[in-house]
Structure 1
Amino acid sequence: MENQRGKGLSFARRIYMPRTVGLGIGCICVTAALYPLNVPGWVWVLMLLNGFVWPHFAYQIATHSPFPYQAERRNIIGDSLCGGFWAAAVQFNPIVTVTILSMMTMNNVAAGGPRLFLQGALAQLIGVVIAWLLFGISFTPTATPIQVWACIPSLTIYPLAVGMVCYRLAFKLSEHKRALSALSRTDSLTGLLNHGAWKDLLHVKFQQCRQNKVESVIALIDIDHFKAINDSYGHIVGDTVLRQLSVELRRTLREGDLAGRYGGDEFCVILPNMSLHHAREVMERLREVLNDYRHPPVPELRIKLSIGLAAYQTVFADAITWLNDADKALYTAKNTGRNKISIASNPAAEGSATRIPA
C-alpha cells in the first residue's frame, strides 16, 4: 500500500501543473464564447471555480487520499465531465469546442492511455447531457475572430505544459532504466561486476586483443580457506572480507581495469594493455595489502589470497580458452600451498603454470 501511495503522489504532482495551466487559460476561450450568450451569473461563478479553484482542490483531494492514484484518475474523469459541460454550454462553438475537447483528450491519453481516453469520452458525454438539461440543446455553427484569438493560448501553452511533463517523465524513466541496467550487471554485496557482466566484457576484451595485438592479462583471485572464515567467525565477517577485497581492488586497479565477483569467494580481473610482469606486480601488491588487513572485531583474522594469471596469447581460440588458462594457474596456486601467485606458462593445452611464491 505504501508503494502504491508513493506512485500515486508522484502521479498527482505531474498532473497538477498541466491542470492548473490548462484550466486557467481555458477560461479565456470559454469566456469569449459565453459572453455573447447572456448566460446567468452562476455560470460565470461556476466557470471561475472550475478554472482557478478546482485544480488546487483536486490536488488536495489526491494527496490526502489513502490511494492518490485512484483519486487522481477520478479527478481526471471530473475534468472530462466539466469539459463536456462547457462544450455544450457554449453551444458547441466550433473553435472553442475543438479546443476544449482536444486538450482534454490529449491529457487523458497522456495520463492513462486508451482506457482513460474511453472513460473520459463517456464523462464528456455525461457533461454534455447535463448542460443540455440546464440550458437546452443549442448549436452555434460559426466562431468570431475574437473567439479564435481567445483559443490560441490553449492551443499553444497547454500542449507545451503537457510536453514538458512528458519530457521530464521520459527523462526519469531513462535514468531508472540506466540504473536498473547497472544493477542487473552489479554484484549486490561487493558492487563489482557480477559473473554474467564480467563474462560478457571478457569476450569484448578478447576481440580487442585479437584485433589490436595488445598485451592483456586475466587474474583469478580466490580467498584461501574462506569457508573456514565463515564457519569460525560467521557469515557477517565473511561478507566483510568480501567487501574489503572489493574495496582494495578498486584502490589497486586502474580506471579501465574490469573487476568482478566470479562466484562465492572467487574474483576475476581483466587488465587490458598490461604486461604479465606488470600484472604480477599489481596482484602482489593486492595480496600483500589483504595479508596486512586486520578486522577490528576479529584481530586474529588473516586474509590470504591465491591468484592465477594468464596473459593473452594469439593461439587462444576464444575467450573461454584464455579464462581456462587463468583458472588452471589459480588451481596450481591453491594446490601448491596457497597464498601465492601462479602464472600460466603453456596456454594452448598443457595447463602448466609457473608458481610465484609468497
Structure 2
Amino acid sequence: MSKAGGRGLLLARRLYTSRTLGLALGLLCVGVAMYPLDPAPWVWGLMIFNGVLWPHVAYQWTCRSRAPFRAEHRNLLVDAFLGGVWVAAMQFNPLPSAATLAMMAMNNVAIGGLRFMLFGAVAQILGIAIGYGVFAPAFIPETSQLQLYACLPLLCLYPLALGWICFRQANTLGRHKRELLALSRTDSLTGLLNHGAWKDQLDIEYQRCKRQHRGGAIALIDIDHFKAINDTHGHVAGDRVLRQLSRMLRQNLRATDVAGRYGGDEFCLILPDLALDHAASAMEALRDRFATLDDAQSPALSVSLSIGLAAWKPSCADATQWLDEADRALYEAKSTGRNRVICSGDHKPRQEVFDPV
C-alpha cells in the first residue's frame, strides 16, 4: 500500500469514531428541531440514514477506495453538504443551525486547515441552496427550550471527543518525532551516537569545561588492522567486532561518559571530569579486555586497539582543536606499533595493565 493510502486509512479510522458520535448527536439536535415541522416519512428516513448508517457506509467506502485519503476528504465534504441541507430543512432555526454548521466547520479545520474549511463552507452553502429548493423553508427566528437542550450534547460532547482525538494524534506524532530524532543521532550497527551527534556532545562538553574550569578527556579508538579482519574473516565478522567493542564501551564506562562511532573502525569517547592519568588507566583496561575477545565463529580472530587521549586545556581555542590533539595522539599510537594508548604530549606508549573502571 502506498504511503498516501496508509495515511488515508489512518484518517478514516480516526474519523470513524468522531463521525459516528457527531452524527448521532446531530441526529438528536436536528430531529428535535424538525419534529414541530411534521416532515414527510422520507425526510425521517434520510435523517436516520445520515445520523446512524452514513458513518459506517462512509468508512467502508473509504476502505474500498483506491485512494483512501481523497475518499475521506470527499466524505467530509458530503458531511458538510448534508449539514447545509438540514439547516434549510430546519427552516434556519438559529441554535440547531449554528451548532450543525459550527461543528462541521470545526471538524474540517481540524483535519485540513483553513483551506479545507473553506471547501467545506462551499459544500455547506451548496447544501443550503439545494435544501432551500427542496423544502422551500420559512425562517424560524426562535429556538425552543427543548431544542436548546437537544443541542447541548452536540455542543459539549463532540468538541470534547474531537479534542481528545487531536490530543492523541499530537501525542503519537510527538513520540514518533522523538523516535526519529533518536534514530537520526544513532549509529545503526553499534547503537552508539553517530559522528555528528557525538561532535555535538563534544561541543557541549568543551563549553562546560571552559565555563566551569573543570577538566575532562576525550579518546579516539581505532581497531588495529580492521581491513585485514574484514578481508580474512569476512565483513560479518568485522561487524561482530564492532558490536563487541560498542558493548564493552557501554558496559565499562561511567554513566556520564559519552561513546560514539566516529566512522568506520574508529570510536570516540568523552570522559567528563576525568584526569588524563585516570583516563589512560581506563583505556588501558579497555585495551586489555578487548584483546581477550573470543569469537566462537572465528577462533583465529585476533584484535587489538590503538587509543589516542587528550585532556581539555584552557589553551584549546575550540572543541575542534581539542579533538585534533586526540587525533594526533591516535596517529602516534598507530605509527609507533599500534596496540597501545598514547596521551597527547606524551610520546611514551602506555602498556601497563590496570583494573577496569
Q: If the length of structure 2 is used for normalisation, what is the TM-score?
A: 0.93
Whether 1:239 and 2:239 are equivalent positions in the alignment is yes
Equivalent-residue separation in structure 1 for 2:319 and 2:28 (angstroms): 69
| Aligned twin of 1:291 | 291
**Which residue matches 2:35?**
35
Amino acid paired to 2:119? Q
TM superposition shift of 1:153: 1.4
Shift of 1:212: 2.2
List aligned pairs for 1:38-117, cutoff 5 A. Answer: 38-117=38-117
1:243-284: CA deviation from partner (whole Å, max 9, x where unpaired): 221111111112221111112211110011222232223222
**In the alignment, structure 1 residue 133 sits paired with structure 2 residue 133:** yes
Instruction: Give the 5 Å matches for 1:140-151.
Output: 140-151=140-151
Q: Which residue of 1 aligns with 2:12?
A: 12
SS in 1 for 2:125: helix
Shift, 1:61, TM fit: 2.3
CA distance in 1, matches of 2:275, 2:7: 52
Q: Kindly provide the CA deviation profile for residues 179-238 of structure 1, in whole angstroms up to 9, marking residues without a partner as x.
A: 222222222222211111111111111121122232311111001111222222333322
Q: Hey, what does 1:357 align to over in structure 2?
A: 351
Distance 2:293 2:167 in 1: 50
Query: Is the 1:308–1:342 contact (alpha carbons within 8 Å) kept by the matching residues of 2?
Result: yes
Q: 1:290 Cα deviation (Å)? A: 2.0
How far does residue 50 in structure 1 lie from its aligned partner after superposition?
Answer: 1.2
SS at match of 2:349: strand
Kept after mapping to 2: 8 A contact 1:344/1:354: no
Deviations 1:14-33 (A, max 9, x none): 11121111111111211221
User: Is the partner of 2:187 in helix, strand or coil?
Assistant: coil
Residues 62 and 71 of structure 2 are in contact (CA less than 8 Å); yes or no, is this contact kept in structure 1? yes
What secondary structure sits across from 1:342 in the alignment?
strand
Give 1:56 shift.
Answer: 2.2
Does the 8 Å CA contact 1:328/1:353 hold for their aligned counterparts?
no
Q: Residues of 2 paired with 1:95 and 1:303: CA distance?
A: 80
Match of 1:3 in 2: 3
Contact 1:219 1:269 in 2 (8 A): yes
Asked if the contact 1:220/1:330 (under 8 Å) is kept, the reply is yes
CA–CA distance in structure 2, aligned partners of residues 38 and 295 of structure 1: 86
- What is the count of residue pairs matched by the alignment? 352
- For 1:164, the equivalent position in structure 2 comes to 164
Equivalent residue, structure 2, for 1:348 = none
Question: Is 2:284–2:350's contact at 8 Å kept on the other side of the alignment?
Answer: no
* Shift of residue 64, structure 1, vs aligned partner: 3.5
| Partner Cα separation in structure 2 for residue 262 and residue 8 of structure 1 | 41
Instruction: State the one-letter code of the partner of 2:325.
Output: D
TM-score (normalised: structure 1): 0.93
User: Is residue 220–residue 330 contact of structure 2 (8 Å, CA) maintained in 1?
Assistant: yes
Tell me, what secondary structure is at the counterpart of 1:355?
coil
Structure 2: distance between partners of 1:136 and 1:152: 27
How far the C-alpha of 1:62 sits from its partner, in A, is 2.2
Describe the SS at the equivalent of 2:79: helix
Amino acid at match of 1:356: R
The separation in 1 between residues aligned to 2:211 and 2:286, in whole angstroms, is 30
CA distance in 1 between partners of 2:25 and 2:186 (Å): 49
Provide the C-alpha distance between the structure 2 equivalents of 1:320 and 1:140, rounded to a whole number of angstroms. 77
The whole-number CA distance in structure 2 between the counterparts of 1:319 and 1:109 is: 48
C-alpha deviation, 1:173, in angstroms: 1.5
Q: Which amino acid aligns with 2:158?
A: Y
- Amino acid across the alignment from 2:94: P
Q: Is the 8 A contact 1:219 1:307 kept in 2?
A: yes
Q: Does 1:281 align with 2:266?
A: no
TM-aligned CA distance change 1:353 to 1:203, over 3 Å: farther
Partner SS, residue 356 of structure 1: coil
RMSD of aligned residue pairs (Cα, Å): 1.7
Give the corresponding residue for 1:263.
263
**What is the alpha-carbon distance in structure 2 between the residues aligned to residue 281 and residue 61 of structure 1?**
69
TM superposition shift of 1:68: 2.3
Secondary structure of residue in 1 paired with 2:348: strand
Q: Give ranges in structure 2 of 5+ residues lacking alignment.
A: 353-357
Provide the rounded CA distance (Å) in 1 between the counterparts of 2:200 and 2:320: 11
Shift of the alpha carbon at 1:295?
A: 2.4
Residue 23 (structure 1) aligns with: 23
Q: Residues of 2 paired with 1:63 and 1:294: CA distance?
A: 54
Amino acid across the alignment from 1:5? G
How many Å separate the matches in 1 of 2:55 and 2:220?
A: 61
